[in-house]
Amino acid sequence: MTGTGGLVTYELRGDVALIGLNRPEKRNAISDGFVEAIHEAVTRAAGEARAGVIHGHGPHFCAGLDLSEHSEKPLFEAVKGSRRWHRVFDEIERGTIPFVAAISGAAVGGGFELAASAQIRVAEEGAFFALPEGQRGIFVGGGGSVRIARLIGPARMGDMMLTGRVLDAATMEGWGGVSYVVKAGQAVDKALELAAQMATNAEFTNYAIINALPRIADMSSEDGLFTESMVASLATMTPEAKDRLRAFLEKRAAKVEAPNG
């Protein structure tokens, strides 16, 4: 299936939805129509998959905002456009299933903002990250000031925006912006592997991870701890938790293995 205007490809592989940004001739720059195509694909994934992967067709993940469309926008249209990005990216960050961003080439401006809305980022060694809004005379508008700032810290984000520096994947991994760095051509496979693993988790636990963690991070310690107790108790009440706990106690479930063990 392809989304609105063929801008997005969509494939269901078992329990995992594979969503491909499909405007390679414009480096997957995000136009207004593209935002709607992403929305359509993410909504479909939430309805029928247990995890999702977002990747870019062609050599680049995403070149960010479509600057040709944006340059002529009246003020209020720009505000509404930014708020639409927020809502659509929020469906990725705080929806019902987890997403992995598989990044090759550029994850620039709004492309990095899109990647930051996924729960996990996998980057190929040649991937690169930049926030060139300062040079373009604009500002992040796709949720980056919240999501990217929380991911790598506001000082590092400010550094990227002020200086226009371009970070390679290894540096971004050190900054906490990506969790996995893989060889060229392997990001989608690694992301699919991680998504398939997440898809085997209890659905309610995945939902709680996606929705409770970022909210608890916004709370005071006391409120966070109280909320944690409520969410933990709700999770324990689900039939899935009872089945899985019983399976472990009856030695039918996998143990936690030491790495390289």
Within 201-230, the residues that bind ligand 1HE by CB under 6 A are: none
**Least spacing, CB of residue 139 vs ligand 1HE, in Å:** 7
Q: Single out the residue of 55, 60, 121, 147 in contact with ligand 1HE (rule: CB under 6 A).
A: 60
The contacts of residue 155 (CB under 8 Å, 6+ apart) are none
Task: Return the number of the residue (67 or 235) whose C-beta is nearest ligand 1HE.
Answer: 67
Give 254's DSSP letter. P
Distance of CA 176 to the CA centre of its chain: 14
Whether 113 sits among the annotated catalytic residues: the reply is yes
Assess 133 for contact with ligand 1HE (CB under 6 A).
yes
Q: Which helix (H) or strand (E) holds 17?
A: strand 16-21
**Backbone φ and ψ of 23, nearest 5°:** -135, 55
Q: Which of 19, 29, 127, 169 binds ligand 1HE (CB under 6 A)?
A: 29
**Interaction of residue 40 with ligand 1HE, rule CB under 6 A:** no
Question: Contact with ligand 1HE (CB under 6 A): which of 3, 64, 98, 177?
Answer: 64
Residue selected from 34, 85, 89, 180 as contacting ligand 1HE according to rule CB under 6 A: 85
Q: Is 133 a catalytic residue?
A: yes
Alpha-carbon distances, residue 91 vs 3, 55, 140, 191, 234 (angstroms): 17, 17, 19, 19, 22
104 versus 206: smaller Cβ distance to ligand 1HE: 104
53 C-beta neighbours (distance < 10 Å), count: 30
**Distance between CA atoms of 3 and 74, rounded to whole angstroms?**
27
Minimum Å gap between C-beta 111 and ligand 1HE is: 7
- Around 123, how many Cα atoms within 13 Å sit in the side-chain half-sphere? 26
Q: Which residues participate in catalysis according to the annotation? A: 113, 133
Q: Write out the residues near ligand 1HE by the rule CB under 6 A.
A: 26-27, 29, 60, 63-68, 82, 85, 106, 108-110, 132-133, 136, 138, 140-142
